[in-house]
Amino acid sequence: MNMLKTTMLLAALTALFMALGFTIGGTGGAMIALVIAAGMNLFTYWNADSIVLKMHGAREVDTRSCPEFVGLVQDLARRANLPMPRVYIIDSEHPNAFATGRDPAHAAVAATTGLLGMLDRDEIEGVMAHELAHVRNRDTLIMTMTATIAGAISMLANFGMFFGGGRDRDGGQVLATILAVFVAPFAAMIVQMAISRSREYGADLGGAQISGKPRALASALAKLARGAAHIPNPVVERNPAAAALYIVPGLRRSGDSLFSTHPATENRIAHLEAIANEMGVLTPAPNFAAIPPARAGASSVPRTRRRTSALDPNGR
């Protein structure tokens, strides 16, 4: 069912891309759009990991440069019965993490220095287990491909605004072009958000099962949501489609609305609380409302907790 849904959503985006091409350039435009969409899918399939990692300026680490963090990921990958992914760190105060790659054998996971300095070990373990669940569920490729096509649809719509409408003498065609400019990016966004929201719950469940610490993941989500909403993320500001890749979106808007890239953090915490009860976990649930918001440009973790650790590459 998951694969069928993925195929249908990608087909819908491709069809939307072709329809926009037809609106701008007729049958020839539709065929060109199909070729472009196929080329983007093929290119993204083979280069999904490098695209995302270069976008974030991520640097690869190993057991020599960051032994505790890499060792933590190794242990989780072993528990998840996955090949060891490449591990990256992003030098950014914005607290977040993501996974990428076309399949488990070519996967990579990344966390920001802001995340590593904000969370304790159990919470980091829960976050990285969540990302490995995305790898195991084969979510990483579809999220990158969808974000790429959605961005291309918006770009093509803008192209149609400047080059398509000016040569149209038929009023109906002009109206169709105008509608395409506004409706196509909107529809692409809806499809992208639908994919992201549905998969986050599955990755939360998988992360709880891999780590065995659903409440640590819930606590991490609460802290990350507070911090990410107040600490700027330059990558998302340049490319909003990237928000769907993260464990928390890093955008100011929140909630389970049609326009949110992720389920509301409160709903995810409630979901993890139910999982914890089913697993018989006895640790207390996190109080989302009690966690103070972070100041812009700074970590929300109290300075008394900022200690030197191999999990924090900045030595904070």
131 is catalytic: yes
Tokens of 182: 């506004």
Tokens (6 digits) for 309: 């650790």
Is residue 271 a known part of a binding site?
no
Q: Which of 93, 123, 125, 131 is catalytic?
A: 131
The closest alpha carbon to 130, from 207, 210, 214, 217, belongs to 207
94 is annotated as contributing to ligand binding: no
Question: What pairing do the DSSP bridges indicate for beta strands 108-112 and 86-90?
Answer: parallel
Per-residue HEC secondary structure of 197-253 comes to HHHHHHHHHHHHHHHCCHHHHHHHHHHHHHHHHHCCCHHHHHCHHHHHHCCCCCCCC
49 and 100 Cβ atoms separated by less than 8 Å? yes
Q: How many CA atoms lie within 13 A of 202 on its CB side?
A: 14
Query: Given the DSSP bridges, would you call strands 86-90 and 97-100 parallel, antiparallel or unpaired?
Result: unpaired
Tell me if 134 is assigned to a ligand binding site.
Answer: yes
Burial class of residue 314 (count of CB atoms within 10 Å of its CB; 0-12, 13-18, 19+): middle
Residues comprising the binding site for Zn(2+)?
Answer: 130, 134, 200
Q: Which of the residues are catalytic?
A: 131
Residues comprising the binding site?
Answer: 130, 134, 200
